[in-house]
Structure 1
Amino acid sequence: MSEPSFDQQAWLGRIGYAGSLQPALNNLHKLIFAHSHAIAYESLDIMLGRTPTLDIASLQRKMIAGGRGGYCLEQNMLFREGLRSLGYSVTSLQGRVVRGLAIDAPRPAIHMLLQVNLPEGPYLADVGFGNLAPTAALLLREGIEQETPHEPMRFIDVGGELTLQARLRGEWEHIYRVIPYPRYDSEYEITNWYTATHPHTPYQSNIIAARPGPDRTRITMFNRRVTVRHATGEADKRHLNDDTEFRIVLRDEFGLNMTDDEIRTCIDVMECKGEKGAPHPFFA
């Protein structure tokens, strides 16, 4: 059941959704598209020394009332609550991220995703995978090329785990393997603590943000590098030079409500500890 404290209307207003509220596949597509475009993927609170909290009240304060984004656990926790408030049946799952790695790499289950159970079958819903989060629901069935508002996607089976792939520049690139077993929220709490506090994860030291853009584009920020990738796979890249440029990009292009001091702190952390070369493969 949905938590009584969830403000469905505030969420729908935040994502700009004014369509049908019936729990149906076509409406699920529209909700995913609206949420992913309105609430950016970002992990900047971790750079500010704030470990994300996953209770619904905190998520609403941050991402709905506070005008901020969040990373996978925050995004999909909030989206799950929104779907449940509308009457959708949702199963919570985890995935093994293999973006930029071997497809069968022995990866831990650190990504949260959702299975929405519909009369048409089980569908993946994921508004929290940065620059390759599917912008439509995807049927959890292998071997079917599925169109989205951005890249075509498909699943292939790898050792009993459906592996999500996107077609970029004419090639199929793998993203994550879906573990087909329900997860408890306590498991997400463990994952959240690990990803937010472990010194070897990229979030403590790097400015990371992503958001779908207009005309099937995606915009990604990794430290000073901002990339706009087109549906063809071609990309336009630019580098930021000063605080003013950082403020413009974070506020205007990613829609983040951040103070000058918060942005300056993130830049300071990045300059001291951030990666100097190419983006982490998860965010390339």
Structure 2
Amino acid sequence: MNLDQYFNRIGYRSGTEPSLDNLHALTRAHAQSIAFENLDVLAGKPISLELDNIFDKLVLRRRGGYCFEHNGLFMWVLQQLGYQVSTLGARVRLRTPDRDDLPGRTHLLLKVELDGQSWLTDVGFGGFSLTAALRWQDGLEQQAPHDRRRLVYEDRRWFHQVWQENHWLDVYEFDGLPMPDSDQKVANWYTSTHPDSTFMDQRIVARAGADGSRLALLGNELRIRTPTGDLETRNLAETEITQTLKDVFYLDYANYNGS
């Protein structure tokens, strides 16, 4: 397990010293190269949070994963490079838009302290994974390579929002508290096994495109949100899935059959 293997996986050839430019570049390279996916969850396979297993899956076997795997790996990378990084837990808002309802704290993201400022990075949030670090400042609109973001502090909670279809969409909320390993294990168990978990419903695969597009596979529907914001969709036959996983999402499957 070494950084060169990871850099080869994400095609990273830029600097490695701790800096904001390099943090942005690493975030984007990861999100564009290693897909978010829940295929093992659907197959009933356990999701390991052991770093060696995550590295083997995402880097050596050229698979993807979800937040605990992506951000667990990315945290290790940043620590190896000398960044001051810690975990945060969040409550996903995409299926619970009513702020009076409180979903479980099931998402992992990262906080990076750099040059006296706090930044958020999150390479494990599916079609909304960050492609640049986000400055932790109330109300500051920030243009990332793939979309516009902001953090707002309201009702004693932080809301991470993305500008989409002419409005600000809550993607998740967080309280700024760490997410220790014990909490990650509980949340990982819930998201990978509970029948109410989003990841138990259907195939979910996503990657950020190098051209600014967003690519997603939901069930058998391939979705491409172009850099201009237009949404293109196509329903795939089951026989097309394996090749789509390889060509569009850079996932290495000899013969994916949904199991």
Could you tell me the TM-score, scaled by structure 2's length? 0.96
Q: 1:151 aligns with which of 129, 140, 147?
A: 147
Change (3 A) 1:248 1:62: same
CA drift of 1:103 comes to 5.0
Q: 2:176 aligns with which of 177, 180, 191?
A: 180
CA drift of 1:242 comes to 3.3
1:248 alignment counterpart:
243
Q: 1:226 aligns with which of 203, 222, 243?
A: 222
Which whole-Å deviations, capped at 9, do the CAs of 1:21-78 have from their partners, x for residues lacking one?
1111110000000011110000101122211101110011100100100101100000
Distance 1:123 1:239 in 2: 38
* 2:199 alignment partner, SS class: coil
Give yes or no for contact 2:108–2:179 (8 Å, CA) kept in 1: no
1:79 alignment counterpart:
74
Q: 2:49 aligns with which of 37, 47, 54?
A: 54
1:269 alignment counterpart:
none
Is the aligned partner of 1:134 residue 2:127?
no
Is the aligned partner of 1:111 residue 2:107?
yes
CA-based RMSD of the aligned residues comes to 1.3
2:91 alignment counterpart:
96
Distance 2:154 2:193 in 1: 30
2:187 alignment counterpart:
191
Distance 2:213 2:245 in 1: 17
Q: 1:35 aligns with which of 30, 38, 61?
A: 30
Give yes or no for contact 1:103–1:174 (8 Å, CA) kept in 2: no
CA drift of 1:120 comes to 4.5
CA drift of 1:205 comes to 4.1
Deviation >3 Å, runs of 4+: none
* 2:25 alignment partner, SS class: helix
1:265 alignment counterpart:
258
CA drift of 1:208 comes to 0.7
Letter of the structure 2 residue corresponding to residue 46 of structure 1? V
Letter of the structure 2 residue corresponding to residue 34 of structure 1? A
Distance 1:136 1:93 in 2: 17
- How many residues matched? 258
Q: 2:164 aligns with which of 162, 168, 190?
A: 168
Identity of paired residues, percent? 34
Which segment is superposed worse, 205-214 or 141-150? Answer: 205-214
Give yes or no for contact 1:39–1:68 (8 Å, CA) kept in 2: yes
Give yes or no for contact 1:169–1:232 (8 Å, CA) kept in 2: no
Distance 1:229 1:92 in 2: 30
Which segment is superposed worse, 204-213 or 37-46? Answer: 204-213
Distance 1:214 1:100 in 2: 28
Could you tell me the TM-score, scaled by structure 1's length? 0.87
CA drift of 1:234 comes to 1.8
CA drift of 1:193 comes to 0.7
Give unpaired runs (5+ residues) of structure 2. none
Distance 1:242 1:49 in 2: 19
Give yes or no for contact 1:169–1:234 (8 Å, CA) kept in 2: no
Which whole-Å deviations, capped at 9, do the CAs of 1:237-282 have from their partners, x for residues lacking one?
1101231x1112111101111131xx2134xxxxxxxxxxxxxxxx
Give yes or no for contact 1:225–1:238 (8 Å, CA) kept in 2: yes
Letter of the structure 1 residue corresponding to residue 258 of structure 2? T
Distance 2:258 2:211 in 1: 33
Give yes or no for contact 1:96–1:179 (8 Å, CA) kept in 2: no
Which whole-Å deviations, capped at 9, do the CAs of 1:211-235 have from their partners, x for residues lacking one?
0113211011111111101244320
